Amino acid sequence: MFARLARAVAAVPGVTATGLAAPTLRPWDSGRGRVMFSELQAAGSDAGLPSGVHMTDEGLLPALGIRVLAGRNFHPSETSNVAIISRSLAERMGGATVALERTITLLAEDDADPAEAFRIIGVANDVAYDGLAEQGTRRVIRYQEGSDRRRRPLGRLRAAYVPLARVAVSTVSIAAATSVDPASIISAVRGSIAQVAPGSAVHWTGTMADEVALEYAPSRFYGVLVSAFSASALLLTSVGLFALLWNTAAARTGEMGLRLALGARRGGIAWLLVSAGARPVALGIGLGLLGALWCADWMAAFLYDLPALDPVSFGGATALLLLVCLGASLIPARRAASVDPLVALKRE
């Protein structure tokens, strides 16, 4: 019946591909398990490698845009013990070509189900089902406490897919790729499901974009909040530096006039004021870089697809502060350089 449901949804105008998963995928279901293979056994590990384990049909990978890099996809209604693994998992086994046709053992995370052996028939692209929580990196937003009380990332780039048809399930999720706005055909999809299985309950329908936006709304809020505070700090810095240099130029008017009267160039006078503003900025940049290096480990938990010591970010922030310094110094420096020596000396 589930295959009929997928075909019915695929017949809805605007749907380009459909696939099935049981019971569902992240972020609604953890799909967590462990994978054991010969290299781990040789290393003395009996716990297996934490990985995502998903039961799918042959249509899910194309529907989600997951490309099979090596080997093949599942055949329709395939019931044998075969598996498709992600590229990250294949790399732990020596690469895609080495992993094909080898055998892995899948274990449930809680040891509730017996271990089963599967033959690898394909290697697919990685998918970060936990979104920003990337497995194997320190750039994470979710943690679990390990036995040694250290926080470990919950992300899963490593994954194994097994045929859905080989087991009896009562609940499935239908993924549909569309060529139109997904929200515009949700009612049609629900109607097609009701025609094939009128007694089935549709628990949830919606778009992946909306669900992902809801899932990571707190992270986006924190990003906007930090950006707003950073922009405010930058604005206060520029205003404070401008006020400092303006006051310096006013206080040293007589000195500037005397320097000009003794033959100093106006460009030199302007540079004198700019350098006076650059000194505290340079000190602040140095202290800020030291503070950023000290906080790098802590900040790594909030950085996604970016190293904590990213040279582009550090260089860009330094360049931005220097530009702010130059901009804030420009008007006071021009004022100091345009002083009339006679007027300045008369004031003194």
pLDDT above 90: residue 74? yes
User: pLDDT at position 61, please?
Assistant: 92
Condensed to tens digits (0 to 9), the pLDDT of residues 231-284 reads 898 888 888 888 887 787 777 777 777 777 777 787 887 787 788 778 888 888
Q: How far is Cα 90 from Cα 99, in angstroms, rounded to an integer?
A: 6
| Long-range pairs, 273-277, Cβ under 8 A, ≥24 | 273/245, 273/248, 273/249, 273/329, 273/332, 273/333, 273/336, 274/326, 274/329, 274/333, 276/245, 276/248, 277/241, 277/244, 277/245, 277/248, 277/325, 277/328, 277/329, 277/332
Condensed to tens digits (0 to 9), the pLDDT of residues 184-225 reads 888 898 888 888 888 887 887 878 778 777 777 877 888 899
Q: How far is Cα 315 from Cα 292, in angstroms, rounded to an integer?
A: 12
Looking at residue 28, the DSSP 8-state letter turns out to be T
CA 175 to chain centre: 23
Secondary-structure breakdown of the chain: helix, strand, coil percentages, each rounded to the nearest 5: 50, 20, 35
Q: Are 5 and 193 spatial neighbours (Cβ–Cβ below 8 Å)? A: yes
Name the band, by pLDDT with cuts 50, 70 and 90, for residue 132: low
Name the band, by pLDDT with cuts 50, 70 and 90, for residue 36: confident
User: pLDDT at position 73, please?
Assistant: 95
What is the overall mean pLDDT for the chain?
79
Q: How far is Cα 26 from Cα 173, in angstroms, rounded to an integer?
A: 11
Q: Phi and psi of 214, rounded to 5°?
A: -70, -40
Of 20-34, 85-99, 322-336, which gets the smallest average pLDDT?
20-34
Nearest partner of 87 among 69, 111, 109, 62, judged by Cα: 69
How big is the CA angle at 263 (ends 259 and 267), to the nearest 5 degrees? 75
User: pLDDT at position 148, please?
Assistant: 40
Q: How far is Cα 304 from Cα 326, in angstroms, rounded to an integer?
A: 32
C-alpha distances out from residue 251 to 118, 263, 347, Å: 81, 20, 11
C-alpha distances out from residue 35 to 103, 235, 268, Å: 10, 52, 70
Condensed to tens digits (0 to 9), the pLDDT of residues 5-29 reads 888 889 999 999 999 988 776 555 6
Name the band, by pLDDT with cuts 50, 70 and 90, for residue 118: very high
For residue 337, how many C-alpha atoms fall within 13 Å in the half-sphere facing its CB? 16
